């Protein structure tokens, strides 16, 4: 089984869920009273899988060198078999958990931004009250990824 098999299964499920969502909610776009709800649901479904892929690629880029170094230590016999198996299982669970949690948070964050734009509300209020964005804001400003309005 290739390593991208689970991503392929997720992509198939994503396309199926997107098709089902479009089948149900695109007709709702024709009714003025349900238009906003339909836009929110369609947007939420469309950003779900890309958020997971983005967080997966981000953490893969961060952890690929330590993983290769650890693999080299195992192959050259610097780490014995039992501790290596325990560390591999622990590392895999932590890696998967990080990807799942960050993907869910990114999905929540992007969905909230989209909802605010659709409701024609200020996005800045959400950004100011979000604790994780507040923690990351100095770094985003430093790397010129975010311009602070103040």
Can you tell me which residue has the tokens 């869920």? 17
Residue 17 lies in a domain: yes
Q: Are 36 and 119 in contact (CB under 8 A)?
A: yes
> Is the CA virtual torsion 117, 122, 128, 134 positive or negative?
positive
Give me the mean pLDDT over the 53-59 stretch. 94
Residue 108 lies in a domain: no
Residue 19 lies in a domain: yes
Q: Are 95 and 63 in contact (CB under 8 A)?
A: yes
Asked whether residue 4 carries a pLDDT value surpassing 90, the answer given is no
Structure pTM? Answer: 0.84
Q: Write down the pLDDT at residue 89.
A: 96
Nearest to 55 by CA among 116, 92, 90, 97: 97
Task: Give the chain's domain count.
Answer: 1
Residue 138 lies in a domain: no
Q: Write down the pLDDT at residue 150.
A: 62
Which residue segment(s) compose the domain that 24 sits in? 5-103
Structure confidence by residue, pLDDT tens digits, 102-123: 999 999 999 999 999 999 999 9
Residue 140 lies in a domain: no
């Amino acid at each position: 089984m290739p390593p991208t098999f689970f991503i392929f299964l997720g992509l198939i499920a994503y396309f199926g869920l997107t098709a089902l969502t479009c089948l149900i909610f695109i007709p709702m776009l024709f009714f003025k009273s349900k238009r906003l709800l339909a836009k929110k649901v369609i947007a939420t479904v469309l950003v779900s899988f890309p958020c997971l892929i983005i967080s997966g690629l981000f953490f893969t880029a961060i952890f690929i060198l330590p993983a290769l170094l650890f693999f080299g230590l195992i192959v050259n016999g610097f780490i014995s078999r039992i501790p290596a198996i325990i560390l591999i299982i622990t590392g895999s669970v932590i890696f998967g958990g990080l990807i799942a949690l960050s993907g869910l948070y990114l999905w929540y964050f992007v969905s909230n931004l989209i909802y605010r734009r659709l409701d024609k509300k200020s996005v800045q209020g959400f950004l100011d009250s979000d604790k994780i964005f507040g923690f990351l804001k100095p770094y985003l400003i430093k790397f010129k990824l975010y311009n602070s309005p103040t």
